[in-house]
Amino acid sequence: MKILIIGSGGREHALAWKFNQSPHVSKIYVSPGNGGTYENVPIAANDLEGLLTFALNHRIDLTVVGPEEPLCMGIVDLFEQHDLRIFGPNMKCANLEKSKDVSKQFMLKHQIPTAHSVTVTSYDDAISTLNSFSYPVVIKADGLCLGKGVVICDDFVMAETTLRDFFIKSKFGEEGRRVLIETYLDGYETSLLCFVANNRCVPMQTARDYKKLYEGDLGPNTGGVGCYSPGPQLDKTIEEQIFTILNKIENGLSVDGYKYNGILFIGLMIVNDMVYVLEFNVRFGDPETEVLLPRLETDLVDIIKKIENDTLQSEDLKWSDLSCMTTVVTALGYPEQYRKGISIDIDDSELIFHNGSSRVNNQLVSNGGRVLSFIELGDNLKTMNQKLNQRIDSLQFEDKQYRKDIGLI
């Protein structure tokens, strides 16, 4: 079968790598792809008509959507209207990520534990609402904002500046004109990705993501600069709470008339042995995908077929006993201003997923803030961390930046 993967990051490279292992797959296209992916197609991920035309003309058997934007734009609905197989949630389901207010109201309606928040639509209302919150406080733009619309504010000055950026300076345009002001939850995060078949959640194994740029969990939030799976061991009480949350999500999807097929990423925060839901994403996470897929021993094509037939069960997912860790190499200046086009020299025999790279005249160069995800499998986090650091240290990439404490804290 011929597969089209939509997207250009490390997640899409990992998906292509995984599909390439399937005996069912004869051809893989990645659109637009990166410097590490297979046959790239120069069509942007948000060019829905262009992708549709390509899929029809090339008789694509299965399209897999990586990033959130085309899902939120309705690519699944469009492809299904043309009788094309596509893996991902439809536009209605994708609203659970597109709008943080929609997902928050879903959680409240179905009694899913989450942080207290107030949604505001003007600068003046936002400033007034701040008086009812203590610091730190979390300010979230309602829309996608390229994953950069969440700010943890330590004091009023920072909160006021953030709200001014959103409402007065229109930093995120329309996506930032509705804002959630939310209680800060002080705990530890766990990422839980689920395959979803007709509203039934079949959880994958856990992963621990590192969002902060600098060692010691310091610095600005990022899209993720490191990860390992399985995540920290959860005790029985926490596992029972997560099971209850999954049941409430399934029930809520059915009650509210969703028909969810694809991936549901649930961001969990554990505070004093209590589990809260931070957010929903409607696609494979990044960098979680880069550590989950190397551990997944089941053929991904078979999993998708069972989702389509509504027969997928937990026992269908076979996992390696080994752990998997990634450390992400970023460009100096990320997540703000950074250079592109910097020459990269890597060892192609090593397992590396490309996040932001391209090839210019056969030369591999950087093309994003997160550039490369180095992958290591093993049974000891400390040893895996050391191996990753050694590999990255020898990487020929000017002004490279990476955390050396992934898996250690």
Given a contact cutoff of 8 angstroms between Cβ atoms, the answer to whether 85 and 309 are in contact is no
Fold for 188-316, please state it: D-amino Acid Aminotransferase; Chain A, domain 1 (3.30.470)
**Residue 243: phi, psi to the nearest 5?**
-60, -40
Domain 116-183 coded CATH 3.30.1490.20: yes
Helix (H) or strand (E) holding 363: strand 363-366
> The whole model's pTM is what?
0.96
Q: Tell me, what's the pLDDT at 60?
A: 98
Per residue in 292-319, pLDDT (tens digit) is 999 999 999 999 999 999 999 999 999 9
SS3 290: helix
CATH of domain 323-401: 3.90.600.10
Centroid of chain to Cα 368 = 16
Whole-angstrom distance, CA of residue 113 vs CA of residue 190: 15
Angle value at C-alpha 238, between 197 and 276, nearest 5 degrees: 75
C-beta of residue 290 within 8 angstroms of C-beta of residue 11: yes
Place of tokens 């997902």: 103
pLDDT band at 221 (very low <50, low <70, confident <90, very high): confident
Query: Can you read off the two tokens belonging to residue 330?
Result: 């970023």
The residue type of 247 is N
Q: What mean pLDDT is predicted for residues 171-176?
A: 95
Per-residue pLDDT band at 189 (split at 50, 70, 90): confident
Q: Which CATH number fits domain 2-90: 3.40.50.20, 3.40.50.300, 3.40.30.10, 3.40.50.11860?
A: 3.40.50.20
Give the residue, 401 or 232, on which the prediction is more confident.
Answer: 401
- 17-44: average pLDDT: 97
CA 149 from chain centre, in angstroms, equals 14
Q: What is the DSSP letter of 234?
A: P
Can you tell me the distance from the alpha carbon of 79 to that of 52, in angstroms, rounded to the nearest whole number? 7
63 confidence band (pLDDT: 50, 70, 90):
very high
Dihedral sign (CA 171, 177, 181, 187): negative
Q: What are phi and psi of 7, to 5 degrees?
A: 135, 180
Q: Where are the domains of the chain?
A: 2-90, 116-183, 188-316, 323-401
